[in-house]
Amino acid sequence: MSDILLRHLPELAPCPWLPPQEEPLSAAWVAALGDDRGERFYGAALQYAQSLWRQGFPARAILLLNRALGCELEGSEGVLRQWPLPYGAIAWLLQQRREEQYLGNPRRHWQHLASRMSGPRAELRAWRAWACWRIACVALPDCVADERQLALEGLREPGEEEIADQLERLGHPGEVGAWRDVLEGL
């Protein structure tokens, strides 16, 4: 979306699940942290996601929330007490975005992300992607799966209980309850 279009959009309310951010940020905000994928990066990613949302880019904001979900955190960090894992922010962005804002198909996005995960903490990150996939399925029921990928790769979409079991096994204490609270609120 061009700057001209953004000036004509009514102001976007800040996402209450993300830290306040009035000034626009750029990718340099998180790039300045280098290889850090801990608490500082988590907070910066949430701030940048809020900035992208406020600038009218919900799909890009979601990409930053994916990165935040992949941070190397144990669950007891102070930033998580103030800004929990962004399941609530994801649901809010999916529900609050405007028709003229590009979002793509979040269900397919998280299906692909979960099934192609690699790198550090890949198993946990994949199950968090499936948790976001479930949020997208409930929040946007008209978004369809990538049936071709499911058929070609023999991929099976997990049920809610399987996602919960895996998050319980791999995730932070209380993560499953927080995720389920978001789902119940949809």
Tell me the pLDDT tens digit for each residue of 62-100: 999 999 999 999 999 999 999 999 999 999 999 999 989
Tell me what pLDDT residue 3 has: 45
Tell me what pLDDT residue 11 has: 75
**pLDDT < 50 stretches in the chain:** 1-9
Say how many domains are in the chain: 1
Tell me what pLDDT residue 2 has: 41
Tell me what pLDDT residue 4 has: 42
- How far is residue 44's CA from residue 78's CA, in Å, rounded to a whole number? 14
Which token pair is 150?
A: 């499911």
**pTM reported for the whole predicted model:** 0.93
Residue pair 82/104 in contact by the 8 Å Cβ criterion: no
Please give the torsion angle defined by the CA atoms of residues 31, 76, 127 and 165, in that order, rounded to the nearest 10 degrees.
Answer: 180
Which token pair is 16?
A: 């209450």
- How far is residue 162's CA from residue 31's CA, in Å, rounded to a whole number? 35
Tell me what pLDDT residue 1 has: 40
Domain membership of residue 9 as a residue range = 3-184
- The amino acid that residue 152 corresponds to is L
Residue pair 103/60 in contact by the 8 Å Cβ criterion: no
